[in-house]
Amino acid sequence: MGILMSEKFNSLNDVFQHELKDLYDAEMRIVEALPQMAEKASNPKLKQAFEQHRRQTETHVQRLESVFKHCGLEPDRVKCDGVAGIISEGSDILSAEGDKDAIDAALIGAAQKVEHYEMASYGTARTFARRLGDNYAADLLEQTLDEEKETDQKLTEIAESAVNPASV
């Protein structure tokens, strides 16, 4: 939101809707960033993981749009400062030069920062949906949360099995 604008939270539902908007913005930003990360990656498994996660992230966007519709809302974005900051920080890697394996290690670290932010945000939104008695939204958010965890694990496996040992 910014310092000149403020959101009004009068209920958990208000907070939940804000969280959905934040997640929607985050996912849209991630869809834009992943092709650049895939292009920069040298390791074929890492490149493939980024490309696969871009497609998966497009599904996450669609799920959020389903939750908005289910809640009687139009999909809307509020700037996700967290993901915007992480992506901005990671953009330095995209212009970096040097050892390709070291750059891949940096890309994985940047991607995992995003994944951890998303896991926290989806877990929070899912918990809000459950508390509000909205099992449909909670189930969709849980599905995405599980996929974010799987992506994080896949990145760890790529890092530990190939990228990190090669970058030493």
Which CATH number does the domain 12-167 belong to among 1.20.1260.10, 3.20.20.80, 3.30.200.20, 1.10.150.120? 1.20.1260.10
- Whole-angstrom CA distances from 162 to 10, 81, 103, 130, 166 are 49, 32, 13, 40, 6
CA distances from 111 to 17, 38, 104 (A): 26, 11, 10
Q: Are the beta carbons of 110 and 93 closer than 8 angstroms?
A: yes
Give pLDDT < 50 ranges for the chain.
Answer: 1-4
pLDDT at site 60: 98
pLDDT reported for residue 3? 43
CA distance 21 to 136: 17
Domain residue extents for the chain: 12-167
Q: Given this model, what pLDDT does residue 168 score?
A: 78
